[in-house]
Amino acid sequence: MNKAFGVQVTVSTQGTQETKVAPVVVVAKDDQDAAIIAAEAAGAGAQAETLRELTEEEVTEHGLDLREHGSVKGLPMLNL
């Protein structure tokens, strides 16, 4: 059965030292699967770290369907 996870994705821009970090939620089998899915979705140079499994309330809040293995949703982030 799939679960939902909060994942932090870090993308390094090729040729620069600049990195961008983005929070996402992922539907996956386990925490390692979630990290792999998120990194692949972000593209080359991306690394992902699974932070935690989401609660049922959070799954509903983000509109996730646990039947959709591999779905990824970006979360809003503050950019000052």
**Does the pLDDT at position 78 exceed 80?**
no
For the chain, domain boundaries: 3-66
Which is more confident, 29 or 44? 29
**pTM exceeds 0.85:** yes
2-20: burial string, b at 16+ Cβ within 10 Å, e else: bbbbbbebebeeeeeeeee
Q: What pLDDT is stored for residue 4 in this prediction?
A: 97
pLDDT 10s digits, 48-57: 999 999 999 9
Strands (E), 30-80: 46-53, 72-74
Please say if the pLDDT value at position 62 is more than 60. yes
